[in-house]
Amino acid sequence: MKIGFDNDKYLKMQSEHIKERIAQFGNKLYLEFGGKLFDDYHASRVLPGFQPDSKLRMLLQLKEQAEVIIAISAGAIENNKMRGDLGITYEVDVLRLIDEFSNIGLYVGSVVITQYSGEASTDRFRQNLKELNIKSYVLHKIEGYPSNINHIVSEEGYGKNDYIETTRPLVVVTAPGPGSGKMATCLSQLYHENKRGIKAGYAKFETFPIWNLPLKHPVNLAYEAATADLNDVNMIDPYHLEAYGETTINYNRDIEIFPVLDAMLDKIIGKSPYKSPTDMGVNMAGKCIIDDEACRRASEQEIIRRYYQCLCDLKRGSSSKSILYKLELLMKQAGITEDDRKVIDAAMTREARTGHPAVAIELPDGQIITGKTSDLLGASAAALLNAVKVLCGLPDDLHLVSPEAIEPIQTLKTLYLGSGNPRLHTDEILIALSVSAAHDADAKLALEQLPKLKDCEVHSSVLLSAVDEQVFKKLGLHLTSEPKYESDKIYHKN
């Protein structure tokens, strides 16, 4: 993938900008961190060169000044809300995040449970945190939130919330996902700090939409595609335009809430320091794009991938037509179609020619390699083997794993483990390849090519098993699939 983003420049510029914002507010800043603090794979896909852990590495440059508060809503605990990308509950993810931050040297001060109204599940979670020596606090549900400002900014509103003890000038408020109450946590703390004579400030760090890119730039459209289920819409910030005569981009929820937030800040600290939602932000990502065309092309592919993911989710019964319609509209706005994803046509052509499911992989040099279903291998496994053979210049007809080595694995799967599918999945063929690599130089050479598949595009002519999807994800390939199953069965095991 062609690099379009200067990650080193971003780390330096972003940390310096946050330091300036801390100084602006008398050395105490509550920074609401939107999106993923680490594992930000969406950003790395649409801004080639952006590292998934960039925001975390940036914070590490401020680690002596920073502490982390992790917010989770009582409703998320009560309803066992899941992180779809990780397959774990928000509650479990809080513990995971604490470990992740602590392991790299970031100080986690506490956990805050928002929108609390006496739920037994929250009390149980707090007890668990106490046993782990983790401080926790609660923010209560406030009647009339967010409209009744006089009530909210009073002893009967924010005043009833716990005051979260913090010790460092930069307080990063993050969460397992949206709707966790990060902004409410920041504002409640401003109220309590002000009562104590501390003139703390508030700022927001959202990577997308990028405020200094055009409204319909593919990078910003890709953000809308990523949040299609939330119905977020990118908009020109009217408050910024009125205040400064400058066109900047924000999204509907921040623009809609700004008059309320502005009034709250007026009431809490005397006068709001911001004239627009854009003013509140500290994101420098747009200033670190070094190849606009590369970012445009990468973002267009992301929009198509989101569209195909929705098609597949619809087939599985886990999405809606309204989301699909929005993604179709975004594709039109970006001026792209399925034809702009070359691996789709390659996979479908191979399937039509062979009569069996097929997979196509676009290699870094643009060459497209395909694999088809056979008696021994699934299409995904075949495509992976074919791709690594091309990458190291081995002949197409070479067996990296002999049929004699595959047959015992098939026997294990079907006879002893009860599988109805004798063909090897991607994980199984990679294990077999690694075994062959112990005594075969060609297999060893092929195995060493796997890192070169990172950021390559791949398309399957049928829905894949969860195993194959996960292997492609772990290898860093960008997968799309046709919204159809290999068979006409009603029940399909993931």
With DSSP H G I counted as helix, E B as strand and the rest as coil, what are the percentages for the chain, rounded to 5?
50, 15, 35
Which H or E element spans position 205? strand 201-205
128: Cα separation from own chain's centroid: 28
Cα distance between residue 76 and residue 175, in whole Å: 11
pLDDT of the chain, 494 residues: tens digit per residue: 799 999 999 999 999 999 999 999 988 999 999 877 777 899 999 999 999 999 989 999 999 999 999 999 999 999 999 887 778 999 999 999 999 999 999 999 999 999 999 999 999 999 999 999 999 999 999 999 888 999 999 999 999 999 999 999 999 999 998 889 999 999 999 999 999 999 899 999 999 999 999 999 999 999 999 999 888 899 999 999 999 999 999 999 899 999 999 999 999 999 999 999 999 999 999 999 999 999 999 999 999 999 999 999 999 999 999 999 999 999 999 999 999 999 999 999 999 999 999 999 999 999 999 999 999 999 999 999 999 999 999 999 999 999 899 999 999 988 888 888 889 999 999 999 999 999 999 999 999 999 999 999 999 999 999 999 999 999 999 999 999 998 766 555 65
HSE, side-chain direction, 13 A CA sphere, residue 397: 0
Structure tokens that stand for 40 in this block: 């930000």
Residue 418 confidence (pLDDT): 87
CA angle 381, 387, 392 (to 5 degrees): 130
- Contact indicator for 174, 145 with CB cutoff of 8 Å: no
Beta bridge partners of 14: none
Q: Which residues contact 103 (CB under 8 A, 6 or more apart)?
A: none
Phi, psi (degrees; rounded to nearest 5) at 360: -120, 140
Q: What is the DSSP secondary-structure string of 137-181?
A: EEEE--TTTTT-HHHHSSTTTGGGSPPPP--SSEEEEE-SSTTS-
Residue 491 confidence (pLDDT): 54
In the chain the domains, ranked by start, together with CATH numbers, are 7-288 (3.10.630.10), 341-494 (3.40.140.40)
Structure tokens that stand for 284 in this block: 């420098």
Structure tokens that stand for 205 in this block: 């760090």
Residue 490 confidence (pLDDT): 58
Residue 479 confidence (pLDDT): 98
Greatest C-alpha distance within the chain = 78
Beta carbons within 10 angstroms of residue 73's beta carbon = 25
HSE, side-chain direction, 13 A CA sphere, residue 199: 10
Cα distance between residue 261 and residue 183, in whole Å: 9
3-state class of 218 per DSSP? Answer: helix
- Contact indicator for 67, 168 with CB cutoff of 8 Å: yes
Residue 494 confidence (pLDDT): 53
- Contact indicator for 265, 193 with CB cutoff of 8 Å: no
| Burial per residue of 367-400, b for 16 or more beta-carbon CB atoms within 10 angstroms, e otherwise | ebbbbbbeebbbbbbbbbbbbbbbbeebeeeeeb
Structure tokens that stand for 172 in this block: 């990063």
Residue pLDDT, tens place only, 204-224: 999 999 999 999 999 999 999
CA distances to 355, 356, 358, 423, 487 from 374, in Å: 11, 8, 10, 8, 15
Structure tokens that stand for 16 in this block: 């310096």
